[in-house]
Structure 1
Amino acid sequence: MSASPLPAALDAELHALLGDAWLTDASERLAYAFDNSRREALPDAVALPTTREQVVALVRACRAHRVPLVARGRGTNTTGATVPISGGVVVSFERMNRIVDIRPGDRCAVVEPGVLNGDLQAALQPHGLFWPPDPTSAVFSTVGGNLACNAGGPRAVKYGASRDNVLALTAVTGAGELIECGTATTKGATGYDLHRLLVGSEGTLALIVEASLRLTPAPATRRALRAIYRDVSSAALAVARLMAQPVTPSMLEFMDAHAVRLARDVGGADLPADAGALLMIEADGDADTLPHDIEALARAAEGDGLVSLDDAADEAARAKLWTARKALSPALRTLAPGKINEDVVVPVSRIPALVDGVQALAREFNLPIVCFGHAGNGNLHVNLVYDPADGAQAQRARGAMARVFTLAVSLGGTLSGEHGIGLAKRDFMPQAVTPATLAVMRQLKAVFDPDGILNPGKLLPP
């Protein structure tokens, strides 16, 4: 297989720096050419650093030669954010995977970016703690990747997304400078809030090399409710009622009729065939207060269109239902060979209008649109399934998704709640962000990355 087309001087310098952790053979580079968006572009080389010093040297060398750098965790993102569309070097953090420190008294864990979310949770369990972000990919996605796109998950309704659960970051800017942002304390008022700025920036501002994470005590007990509704409008109205009362659920997930069928037929959940929509509601806390919280949530779930409201009989039943929910995204491939999966977000009170609007678009474009997701945050995964081999269907699918974005913005929402922008939504940014705000974003990009080498072509429209 052919070698990469990088400048010979850069190739020699980085081979000396990284040794066998510098990959230039095309067969090795191919594994880093794509992510879960199914987009693909071959990088010119792949770097597998093990220390922050190597990352600093790597960035400085690439800057000197104006060679692009794309940070990568495990490539689980769905927006093309880690696809090296401009070639250059993919920086995979898979070997920077140490849990540096766990400090239970400070409710803090210090980790390198390549640590898997699932491995971190397992290490925290003996301490009675957890890190709240729990995306579907948690078992095999990295903490660095979670931070890069501000990943959330079902628990975000109560505990927040990644940005709400990070205390400090150490990162390398596009100028090759090592910076420390934030502080490993739960309060801080010392200058600009740079660590929160870096979370969600998709590797366009700096490469994270260490994170101090805010931890939360694991709840003593949990209980789940399953509410089945006549139709999606009834369920959407129930979401607004649930979030308007004082008890915050620890999870509040929505499934439309298509999603319920997939959860039953593919995921193995025990669900009725005629369910028009479903809410999975969970509360956590101590054994004394939890029954009262469940009663309050059950009262809010009641209303027009409710067909049945059941307690998950035991932990096994609760776990099976959540397993079926997490299997929904891959199960969509059983409906059609292609899907566009985007996660728009609106104010919770506008969820009914979003759901009704998406249903109208499905009818207008004559394509199935499957909705499920984190309703308590107003964050729905809108999955448009189609046959990519059918040109007319593909064109209708693109047109329908553009209208979904327009709908979300018109309802006071925005393009993404947790997946990020990447390539998939980049060109829609002017719909969601004003020209003056986009100009400030570009100015920040220039400060952190003066030569534009970090993840070029992503997040910000040309």
Structure 2
Amino acid sequence: MPLPTALIDTLSAVLGDGWRTDLDSRTAHASDDSRRQQLPAAVALPQTRQQVQALVRACRAHGVPLVARGAGTGTTGAAVPVDGSIAVSFARMNRILDVRTADRCAVVEPGVLNGALQAALAPHGLFWPPDPSSADSCTVGGNLATNAGGPRAVKYGATRDNVLGLVAVTGTGDLIRAGGAYTKASAGYDLTRLLIGSEGTLALIVEATLKLAPRPQAQATVRAFYRDATCAAAAVSRLMAQPAVPAVLEFMDGRSLGLLRRHGIDLPEAGALLLIDAEGSDETLPDALAAFGHAAEGDGLLDLDVATDGAARERLWAARRALSPALRSIAPGKINEDVVVPVSRIPDLVAGVEALADAYALTIVVFGHAGNGNLHVNLLYHPDDADETARAHAALPRVFELALALGGTLSGEHGIGLSKRDFMARAYDPATLAAMHAIKQAFDPDGILNPGKLLPPLQTKC
């Protein structure tokens, strides 16, 4: 769908060389890590919030949709353009505006890379807690859009828990401000938390005030093997009941461990594995480590290792880091979905997934963030095998149905995008979805911001 000439003229004047219509630029912004693809009609690379406002207002006037993106590392299709849309890249809005150590916060633009931010904070003895697997290459704006998490979320929370304030441009082109460099507020609606995780459907974030944490003085790792997922889940409950919260609490199922053994990783025969990171000061770490070790003990424990120095900790984590490459060696196709269930239902999720793997004749492995009940279900298949591909895609809805039946939800950190949008109607009742649509209407009355993502079509009453 061609763009109106008047719009092209306006945005060329507003953005200068930040306005791109060449095929190479459009192709570079046509997809994300979901492997979905749609060429945008053009690419906009604003450098200021004023340019973002002008961009939104011009597109609203002409009814042209806008799809914001960071580094394109998302897995749900949330950053994939829609037909006739303009892809908005924040790559040029990548400044760290301020690091306020006294207030323990940083003010940044959305195009700042998570890894670059961590490097800038290190000399101050601080870090920003969200640590998704793409942390070195993903942007803060992308983390905000999806409410990204990572292993550290068990102690520090996901992105939503580590942002103090936002500046954003709504679908009307208005600039709104929410929150600020303070950690407590009781004044009006919490728009900061509302916008985080909204996947660019409500507003385009142009500035964020991030809550920072001090770097731990000392760290240690406990690795515990269990007879089965039930025993591991019971240990998770005991670990989370400790006064000191684990910094990381990761789970791997028996299929994951068997896969790693077949790839030469030296692991004992076991039905489940927990990796537990403890952190604190030199004085407090030994007590926390002892408490975690004690909590890890119990019915079904097969083996337990403890490491306190960096090299030894890396050895204990080696199996977890080797898992993704091992998955790729089994099959080139992988559907990775991150569902969430109550911690007590982890064994039921693992058992249900094992039943699906048998029923659909697929290799499916489960691992992830046990302390939050946020597990990654990986369905492996060969794209050149039409039957196997069909079975994998047929099994996917069953995974979502299983998570919902266990009292869980569709995503803990990847977001909804396109891949899970149609399942939102199963996760939420009509009244709740109607409230979400009403919020969308208030922020974006003409529906130009990332249309078709996150929310399923509103069901009207007959």
Shorter-normalised TM-score: what interval?
over 0.9
User: 2:448 maps to which residue?
Assistant: 453
Deviation at 1:347, TM superposition (A): 1.4
Counterparts of 2:400 and 2:267 in 1: how far apart (Å)? 32
1:378-433 Cα offsets, whole Å, 9 max, x none, are 00000011122323222221222211111111111100000000000000001111
User: 1:134 maps to which residue?
Assistant: 131
Q: In the alignment, does 2:407 pair up with 1:425?
A: no
Q: Is the contact made by 2:163 and 2:210 (CA closer than 8 Å) also made in structure 1?
A: yes
> Of residues 351, 367, 374 in structure 1, which corresponds to 2:369?
374
Counterparts of 1:185 and 1:108 in 2: how far apart (Å)? 9
Q: Is the contact made by 1:113 and 1:142 (CA closer than 8 Å) also made in structure 2?
A: yes
Q: In the alignment, does 2:195 pair up with 1:198?
A: yes
> Of residues 158, 165, 184 in structure 1, which corresponds to 2:181?
184
Identity of aligned residues (%): 67
Letter in 1 for 2:284: T
Counterparts of 1:323 and 1:23 in 2: how far apart (Å)? 43
Q: Identify if the C-alpha distance between structure 1 residues 307 and 189 changes in structure 2 by more than 3 Å, giving closer, same or farther.
A: same
Normalised to the residue count of structure 2, the TM-score between the two structures is 0.95
Q: Spell out the pairing of 1:57-456 with structure 2 (5 A cutoff).
A: 57-261=54-258, 271-272=266-267, 274-312=269-307, 314-322=309-317, 324-326=319-321, 328-456=323-451
Q: Secondary structure at the match of 1:106?
A: coil
Aligned residues: 457
1:137-179 Cα offsets, whole Å, 9 max, x none, are 0000000000100000000000000000000000000111010
Q: Identify if the C-alpha distance between structure 1 residues 320 and 264 changes in structure 2 by more than 3 Å, giving closer, same or farther.
A: farther
When structure 1 is superposed on structure 2, of 233-242 and 423-432 the one drifting more is 233-242
RMSD: 1.7
User: 1:41 maps to which residue?
Assistant: 38
Q: Is the contact made by 2:39 and 2:81 (CA closer than 8 Å) also made in structure 1?
A: yes
Unpaired stretches in structure 2, ≥5 consecutive residues: 458-462
Q: Identify if the C-alpha distance between structure 1 residues 263 and 106 changes in structure 2 by more than 3 Å, giving closer, same or farther.
A: farther
Q: Is the contact made by 2:41 and 2:83 (CA closer than 8 Å) also made in structure 1?
A: no
Letter in 2 for 1:357: G
Counterparts of 1:327 and 1:10 in 2: how far apart (Å)? 49
Q: Is the contact made by 2:253 and 2:350 (CA closer than 8 Å) also made in structure 1?
A: no
When structure 1 is superposed on structure 2, of 206-215 and 242-251 the one drifting more is 242-251
Q: Is the contact made by 1:136 and 1:326 (CA closer than 8 Å) also made in structure 2?
A: no
When structure 1 is superposed on structure 2, of 421-430 and 243-252 the one drifting more is 243-252
1:1-27 Cα offsets, whole Å, 9 max, x none, are xxx821111111111111111110112
Deviation at 1:40, TM superposition (A): 0.5
1:437-460 Cα offsets, whole Å, 9 max, x none, are 100000000010010000011000
1:316-350 Cα offsets, whole Å, 9 max, x none, are 23235446534534542211121111000011122
Counterparts of 1:12 and 1:405 in 2: how far apart (Å)? 46
Counterparts of 2:88 and 2:19 in 1: how far apart (Å)? 10
Q: Identify if the C-alpha distance between structure 1 residues 261 and 117 changes in structure 2 by more than 3 Å, giving closer, same or farther.
A: farther
Counterparts of 1:319 and 1:456 in 2: how far apart (Å)? 43
1:347-384 Cα offsets, whole Å, 9 max, x none, are 11221221222122212222111111000000000001
Q: Spell out the pairing of 1:3-18 with structure 2 (5 A cutoff).
A: 5-18=2-15
Unpaired stretches in structure 1, ≥5 consecutive residues: none
Letter in 2 for 1:50: Q
Q: Secondary structure at the match of 2:337?
A: strand
Deviation at 1:273, TM superposition (A): 5.3
When structure 1 is superposed on structure 2, of 53-62 and 228-237 the one drifting more is 228-237
Q: Secondary structure at the match of 2:102?
A: helix
Q: Is the contact made by 1:86 and 1:456 (CA closer than 8 Å) also made in structure 2?
A: no
Counterparts of 1:170 and 1:324 in 2: how far apart (Å)? 41
Deviation at 1:87, TM superposition (A): 3.1
Letter in 2 for 1:38: R
Q: Identify if the C-alpha distance between structure 1 residues 264 and 65 changes in structure 2 by more than 3 Å, giving closer, same or farther.
A: farther
Q: Is the contact made by 1:263 and 1:325 (CA closer than 8 Å) also made in structure 2?
A: no
Q: Secondary structure at the match of 1:110?
A: strand
Q: Secondary structure at the match of 1:42?
A: coil
Q: Is the contact made by 1:263 and 1:324 (CA closer than 8 Å) also made in structure 2?
A: yes
Q: Secondary structure at the match of 2:141?
A: helix
1:279-331 Cα offsets, whole Å, 9 max, x none, are 11011111222111111111221122221100125212323544653453454
Letter in 1 for 2:97: V
Q: Identify if the C-alpha distance between structure 1 residues 320 and 118 changes in structure 2 by more than 3 Å, giving closer, same or farther.
A: farther
Q: Is the contact made by 1:62 and 1:69 (CA closer than 8 Å) also made in structure 2?
A: yes
Q: Is the contact made by 2:2 and 2:84 (CA closer than 8 Å) also made in structure 1?
A: no
Q: Secondary structure at the match of 2:338?
A: strand
Q: Secondary structure at the match of 2:390?
A: helix
1:93-118 Cα offsets, whole Å, 9 max, x none, are 01110000000110110000000011
Counterparts of 1:48 and 1:207 in 2: how far apart (Å)? 13
When structure 1 is superposed on structure 2, of 316-325 and 328-337 the one drifting more is 316-325
Q: Identify if the C-alpha distance between structure 1 residues 352 and 258 changes in structure 2 by more than 3 Å, giving closer, same or farther.
A: closer
When structure 1 is superposed on structure 2, of 161-170 and 359-368 the one drifting more is 359-368
Q: Identify if the C-alpha distance between structure 1 residues 274 and 126 changes in structure 2 by more than 3 Å, giving closer, same or farther.
A: same
Counterparts of 2:317 and 2:200 in 1: how far apart (Å)? 31
Counterparts of 1:110 and 1:136 in 2: how far apart (Å)? 23
Counterparts of 1:453 and 1:262 in 2: how far apart (Å)? 45
Deviation at 1:262, TM superposition (A): 5.2
